[in-house]
Amino acid sequence: MPVRQRQLILGAAALVVLGLTAWTFWPSSPAPAAPSATPVRRRAQPATSGAAGPVAGVKMDALTAERQEPGGEARNPFRFKPKVVAPPPRPAVAPPPAIVEPPRPPAPAPIPLKLIGVVTRETGVKWAVLSDGKNALFHGKDGDMIDGRYLIVKIGIESIEMTYADGRGRQVIRLTGQ
């Protein structure tokens, strides 16, 4: 089917759908509607006991009866609420004694060296090459002292373990320089 013919058919179908929708929702004329064949349900009227007044169910004598004027002491809008009694106070309980731990020594500062590379010698001994980030280069193997302050504990493939010379502050320094 050619494209032009398909567009015409779709346009005609859209106009038909639009026309049916407008016809369905268009308000009807104000002419009176013919009574329908289906019965209309109405709500049941409550049965009234007494004389029928202008409106069914209204007791006219109750409306015209004399009422008591609002007085001073007799009127209490809170008379139906029970009096609220405060609960007795709870006895004070002392908190358990806090356990005091001795202060821990501060953690040592991180070792400021960066691992530049690991070299394996012909004998199989690994040497680490370190830099302080300025101009100094350091090198050493397992157990060597670096810069007189740090000790190489273990050299791995991409990292080394170092401590301060006194054995505290064990750190892993990776080949990325961290």
> Is residue 6 situated within a structural domain?
no
The reply to whether 34 falls in a domain is no
Say if 150 falls within a structural domain.
yes
CA angle 9, 14, 17 (to 5 degrees): 125
For 51, residues 6+ apart whose C-beta sits below 8 A from its C-beta are 60
Asked whether residue 140 is assigned to any structural domain, the reply reads yes
pLDDT of res. 82 = 73
Distance CA 91, CA 98 (A): 21
Asked whether residue 153 is assigned to any structural domain, the reply reads: yes
H or E stretch covering 114:
strand 114-120
Whether residue 20 is contained in a domain is answered as no
pLDDT band at 74 (very low <50, low <70, confident <90, very high): low
Q: Is the pLDDT of residue 16 over 50?
A: yes
Is the distance from CB of 6 to CB of 14 less than 8 angstroms?
no
Whether 18 shows a pLDDT value over 70: the answer reads yes
35 within a domain of the structure (yes/no): no
State the average pLDDT over residues 113-125.
91
Q: What is the reported pLDDT for 32?
A: 54
Structural domain tally of the chain?
1
- Residues forming beta bridges with residue 152, ordered by sequence position: 162
Neighbours of 113 (CB within 10 A): 22
Provide the domain limits for residue 161: 114-174
Report the pLDDT value the prediction gives residue 155, as an integer from 0 to 100.
93
Q: Which residues contact 128 (CB under 8 A, 6 or more apart)?
A: 115, 117, 118, 119, 139, 140, 141, 152, 155, 160
Supply the pTM of this predicted model: 0.42
